[in-house]
């Protein structure tokens, strides 16, 4: 999944933000960027352009979460919906399972709890705006 660089959109007018500075951090993100850039039902989109405040369960302080994408899209029935999208491996969307409390397990557990706090904040933020929050995994992206 690891791969970093700059994405060059074919339709820069659809991008909200600086279309010359779109950073991807994985091949999965490139796949979503290509979809958002080339799909005629996408009205506009952005990558890490939306800050959402959340309370970290680790330090009990407010932080800002920047979901991977935001996109305004025309649905099949003609209505328009704004989606806030996070791209994650399915394994990271589930609590870690391990009997022994190794350093790796503890780090995975902390990451999962922080992600849960971010995703809760994003879900509530989207509800307040009439939007929808989605987490896309390799299953959604057709990656094995």
Q: Taking the CB of residue 7, how many other CB atoms lie within 10 A of it?
A: 18
Dihedral sign for Cα atoms in the order 108, 110, 116, 119: negative
3-state secondary structure the chain: CEEEEEECCCCHHHECCCCCCEEEEEHHHHHHHHHHHHCCCEEEEEECCCCEEEECCCCCCEEEECCCEEEEEECCCCCEEEEEEEECCHHHHCCCCCCCCCHHHHHHHHHHHHHHHHHHHHHHHHHHHCCEEEEECHHHHCCC
- Name the residues annotated as catalytic: 29, 68, 88
């Amino acid at each position: 999944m690891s791969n970093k660089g700059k994405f060059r959109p074919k339709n820069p007018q659809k991008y909200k933000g600086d279309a010359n500075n779109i950073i991807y951090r994985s091949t999965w993100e490139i796949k979503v960027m290509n979809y958002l850039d080339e799909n005629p039902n996408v009205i506009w989109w952005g990558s890490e352009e939306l800050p959402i405040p959340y309370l970290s369960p680790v330090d009990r302080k407010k932080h800002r979460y920047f979901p991977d994408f935001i996109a305004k899209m025309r649905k099949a029935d003609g209505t328009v919906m704004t989606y806030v999208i996070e791209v994650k491996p399915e394994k990271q969307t589930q609590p870690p399972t391990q009997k022994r409390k190794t350093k790796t397990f503890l780090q995975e557990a902390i990451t999962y709890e922080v992600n849960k706090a971010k995703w809760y904040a994003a879900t509530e933020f989207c509800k307040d705006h009439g939007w929808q929050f989605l987490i896309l995994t390799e299953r959604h992206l057709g990656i094995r």
